[in-house]
Structure formats: C-alpha cells, structure tokens
Amino acid sequence: MTDKPIRYLSDETLDGLGIAPREIADAIEAALRGKAAGRLHVTPKSSLLPGEGRYMMSTLAVGNDEDLTVLKTVAVCPDNPAKGLPAINGAILVLDARTGLLLAVMGANWITAHRTAALSAVAARRLADPDSATLAFVGCGVQAHSHLAAVADAYPLRRVLACGRGEANREALLDAARQRGLDAQAATPDEALTEADIVVTSVTLDYTIAPFLDARLLKPNAFAAITDLCIPWTQDSLSAFSTVVVDDLVQERTAERPMLPADLVSGDLTGLVGGEIEPGPTGPRAFAFRGIALGDYAAAALALARAEATGAGTPIGTR
C-alpha cells in the first residue's frame, strides 16, 4: 500500500479541467492505434434492458502504455428528469493496471457525453466534408450539446437545425448554438436530413419508437453520426449510405440485436484510423455508435493525467 491519495473527480470537476473536444479525439485516435498494436485491450460493452425504458451498460479496458484499467457503469433512466435528476448517471473507476490499486473515482456523465462526440469526430475527420457548414440534430439532449461543441471545434459551421420532441431541450440547444454566433432554428426531421452537411441523431434508446428517418434524403456528401443504435432510421433506407463505420466490429457482430445489416458495415474505427477502409466516392457516409470501452478509457486517462498535473479533484482516502 502507499499513502498516495485516491482522487475523486466529479462531473463538474471534469468539466472544469478545460479539455477541448479535439484533445479527446486525439486521445481516442492514439488509443485506436494502441489497440491495433495490441497495447490496449477492451471487452465488448455489456448492456441490459431491465424494463421501464431503463438501459444499463458497462465497459472495461486495460492499457499497457498508461498502465491503467478503466471500468465504467452507466444507467439511462428516462423517468429521472421528472424527478429533477439527469437521465444518465454512472461512475468510472480507474485502477493501476500493474497492481490493481484504485487511483481515481470519476463521474461518468461528462466523459460519456464527450467521448461519444469525440468518437464521432474521429470518424468525421475521414468521412465528413471538411467544409461542412450546416449541422442538424434529431434529438436535443446531452449528446446534442457535446456534439455541437465537437463539430463547432472542427468545422466552419454557420447554421444549426434542431428537431426534438421536447421543446425545452430543443430551445436550450438552439440557444447554445446562437451563443456560438450560429444561425439556429427548429426543423422537421425531413428538413434536418435534406439540408444538413452533418447530422447527429440521438433519440431515446427505445425500440418501440417507429423509425422515421430516411437516409435517402441526405445530401450526397453528408455525414451522419448515429448515436442511438439506428433506432430512428428506416432499415430499408440505410443502403443509401456509401460507407458505414461502426465503433467496433467484434462488439457489433456479437450483439444480441445488431444496429444494422452486416452487409452494410464497411468496417470499424480501428480500421478507419488505420487506413484499411476506403470511403465510398459518392453517397452519404455514416458512423453508427453502440458504445466502446476504448472511448471511455481514452477520455478517463486524459482526464486523470490533467487532474494530476493541475492538482484537481478531491482526496477520498489512500491506497
């Protein structure tokens, strides 16, 4: 045992570290290369749907470069907002991979939001039009806000369109876009698809939702970041995508309920970053996200390093 303190980093503390979206994307790219080289080991995400719209999941990754083990558990509880609570809550444990000793406990909400947007950003670097100016959202919750920050950090955005069932969430997202100096307005789903250069879908993870998005409406050079298991997309329209990349092929192939037909999947992020995937020359492209331990690992490792360098966090004991 040592007398070095275990560090607690709340979501508020993590937000205050000042980590830019592109820093997380860069960390994820480095992690993807580490995974390809056998230096980062991950397991497929575990998930449960225990009823009442709840979605429970966990991830596990071990990295030899940083000598860290990162475990995350998250619960999506749709009844929480009515109780004055965030819909998503969870925790992350960071351990020394050589000894198993606990190094830090982190809130999971900030990392879950921003690592998802950073994963989309990694895919977009290779699949989206670098001159993308119009960003559209179908679903206006936490993921929309983190994607707004990530896309605005990397593209010459001028316009934001937002489509969502909750007026309060939609208006909050539009206000956030206007605060960035962007033209922002509400839109129908069809308007969002036909006018966007980049579209982000993040509807509630509920398989009872009737699909209502038609990929055939997208511009030929459009990029779609799909963070909701493809739930809102009509299955017969998905073949309109010339290139579809998932976060992890092994995870997708072993999933009880695949996000989309296997023959439509071009590969995963590891292959995309490694140059193994040649995007289709014409037709819209997509990144479909299920959730991958690598993203949590990269974001948590980056946050811990920044916290240790700045002294951020609260000691909660020694190891």
pLDDT at 269: 95
Pinpoint the residues of the chain covered by CATH 3.30.1780.10.
5-111+294-318
At the top level of CATH, which class does the domain 5-111+294-318 belong to?
alpha beta
* Domain(s) of CATH 3.40.50.720: residues in the chain: 120-291
Can you give the pLDDT at residue 3? 67
Residue 261's SS3 state is coil
112 neighbors 74 (Cβ within 8 angstroms): yes
- In this structure, the strands spanning 198-201 and 88-96 are unpaired
* Chain position carrying tokens 């580490």: 34
- Dihedral sign (CA 144, 148, 154, 158): positive
CATH code for the structural domain at 120-291: 3.40.50.720
Q: Supply the pLDDT for residue 319.
A: 67
User: In tens digits, what is the pLDDT along the chain, a chain of 319 residues?
Assistant: 556 789 999 999 999 999 999 999 999 999 999 999 999 999 988 888 888 888 899 999 999 999 999 999 999 888 888 898 888 899 999 999 999 999 999 999 999 999 999 999 999 999 999 999 999 999 999 899 999 999 999 999 999 999 998 899 999 999 999 999 999 999 999 999 999 999 999 998 788 899 999 999 999 999 999 999 999 999 999 999 999 999 999 889 888 889 999 999 999 999 999 999 988 888 999 999 988 999 999 999 999 999 999 999 999 877 6
Helix or strand run (H / E) with residue 57: strand 54-63
Q: What is the distance between the alpha carbons of residues 159 and 132, in angstroms, rounded to a whole number?
A: 10
CA distance 58 to 41: 15
pTM: 0.92
Judge whether 42 and 61 are in contact, CB under 8 Å: yes
Distance CA 261, CA 250 (A): 14
Q: CB 306: neighbour CB atoms within 10 A? A: 16
Contact between 163 and 136 under an 8 Å Cβ cutoff? The reply is yes
The backbone torsions φ and ψ at residue 48, rounded to the nearest 5 degrees and listed phi first, read -140, 145
